[in-house]
Amino acid sequence: MPSLKSLKTRIGSVKNTQKITKAMKMVAAAKLRRAQEAAEAARPYAERMASVLTSLSAKADRGASAPRLLVGTGKDDVHLVVVATSERGLCGGFNTNIVRGARAKIDSLIRQGKTVKILCVGKKGRAVLRRLYGDAVIDTIDLSHVRRLAFADAQPIAERVIAMFNAGEFDVAWLFFAKFQSALVQITTGQQLIPAPLAEADAAGAGGSVVEYEPSENAILETLLPRNIAVQMFRALLENAASEQGSRMTAMDNATRNAGDMINKLTLTYNRQRQAVITKELIEIISGAEAL
């Protein structure tokens, strides 16, 4: 049986832990609201970009002059997998789930005999991927200094990916992140980044009307495609930020509840022990008196 004193310190320390997890939960809830607003505010741009791109790529010619970002290199040998994770831990299964999703893809690519290169965004995914795939992890992009995610943070990542593509370092790019659904549910999503996946060109979007382009359609596509990649990247990072906070909030809520349960249990043991000590002392006094 642990002593009364040690039980008391134990209860104290669990109480402190509970205070911390409770505070973290509240901070995460406040951050979640902001991240969610940011993700929602970014939606119109991404949606309009997608609709413009769809109608444009449906009309663009697929000949030799078509932008490579749209049609790809014509090969399918080297894949780049961009894995976006968080910069901080203590957010439940958030990072594990993203890495698991990415791993499933990477493993299946490797089984098909493709070469895989991995680019980590956020340091939490790096450790695991490094251990599993070693030198396939080409670099990690550190976003820990970013307090409020801006488009300017996503752009350099996109530029880098495009530069690598233009240098012929890979043929197909994938992006893994957690799509935010609610504080409880985040969906690990893997999407193809390059070549641009084509949504079915709907006749309604094109409107059947003749659209004038200035400069030419292909020139517009050339400028639009890199921008689209930056936008996709930005959106993924925003979704990720919201998911991270949601996941952390849930995790910290659980932790607070667990700490509460533990305190109850420990308090019970403490009280029982205290009574046992009193009873023991009484017995000693009484039997001492009877012996006289």
Partner 1 sequence: MADKLHFELVSPERLLNSAEVEMVVVPGEDGDFGVLAGHAPFMSTIRAGVIGIHAGGGAAPQRVFINGGFAEVNDKGLTILAEQAIPVAEIDAEAVARELANAREDIKLAKNAAERDHAEKAAALLEAKLGAVRH
CB atoms within 10 A of CB 168: 11
Instruction: Answer whether 154's CB lies under 8 Å from 135's CB.
Output: no
Q: Which is nearer to partner 1, 11 or 60 (CB)?
A: 60
**From 35, 60, 70, 91, active-site residue:** 91
The size of the interface with partner 1 (CB under 8 A), counted in residues, is 29
Q: How far is the CB of 114 from partner 1 (least distance, A)?
A: 30
91 part of the active site: yes
Q: Which is nearer to partner 1, 37 or 261 (CB)?
A: 37
Q: Spell out the residues 6+ positions from residue 205 whose beta carbon is closer than 8 angstroms to its own.
A: 51, 54, 55
Among 12, 13, 30, 45, the residue binding partner 1 under the rule CB under 8 A is 45
Q: Which residue has the tokens 């979007």?
A: 205
Query: Does 89 help bind partner 1 (rule: CB under 8 A)?
Result: no
Q: Which is nearer to partner 1, 14 or 224 (CB)?
A: 224
Instruction: Single out the segment in contact with partner 1 by CB under 8 A; choices: 3-11, 112-120, 148-156, 184-192.
Output: 148-156
Evaluate the omega torsion of the peptide bond into residue 2 and state whether it is cis, within 30 degrees of 0: no
Q: Spell out the residues 6+ positions from residue 286 whose beta carbon is closer than 8 angstroms to its own.
A: none
Could you tell me the sign of the dihedral formed by the alpha carbons of 210, 216, 222, 228, in that order? negative
Among 234, 245, 246, 253, the residue binding partner 1 under the rule CB under 8 A is 234
- Round to whole Å and give the CA distance between 101 and 96: 9
Which positions are annotated as active-site residues? Answer: 91
Contacts with partner 1, residue ranges (CB under 8 A): 38, 41-42, 44-46, 48-49, 52, 56, 150-151, 154, 207, 209-215, 219-220, 223-224, 227, 230-231, 234
